[in-house]
Amino acid sequence: MAKPENVMQVFSLLDKSNCRKCGEKTCLAFAGMVYQGRRSIYDCPVLDPAVAARFLPEVRENDVDDSLEDLKQMVANSDLKEAAERIG
């Protein structure tokens, strides 16, 4: 699940303590910001990271394969001698 379907889906994951540790006045306000894409679910300091991970974008295998091929091409085209001299 990459994007929450609604504000209440985000809100249901929170502890609803309104602790303000995230900088918002309420957990519902924070959930609204997450839903709008203006805040990350990881900005809630009391939320278990395993729960927050539900909102990580799903990675498709084709995307990974394409990225790997792009990286291989970049390495093949790089001047390793020049990079070694630059780095030291």
The model's pTM is: 0.62
Indicate whether 13 belongs to any domain.
yes
CATH number, domain containing residue 82? 1.10.15.40
Indicate whether 1 belongs to any domain.
no
How wide is the angle at C-alpha 14 spanned by C-alphas 11 and 45, nearest 5°?
Answer: 130
Total domains in the chain come to 1
> Is the pLDDT assigned to residue 43 strictly greater than 90?
yes
Indicate whether 2 belongs to any domain.
no
Q: What is the mean pLDDT of residues 8-13?
A: 94
Q: Which residues contact 19 (CB under 8 A, 6 or more apart)?
A: 46
Indicate whether 16 belongs to any domain.
yes
Domain that holds residue 24: 7-87
Rounded CA-CA distance 71/46 in Å is 37
Summary mean pLDDT of the chain? 88
Indicate whether 48 belongs to any domain.
yes
> Is the pLDDT assigned to residue 26 strictly greater than 90?
yes
Rounded CA-CA distance 74/69 in Å is 9
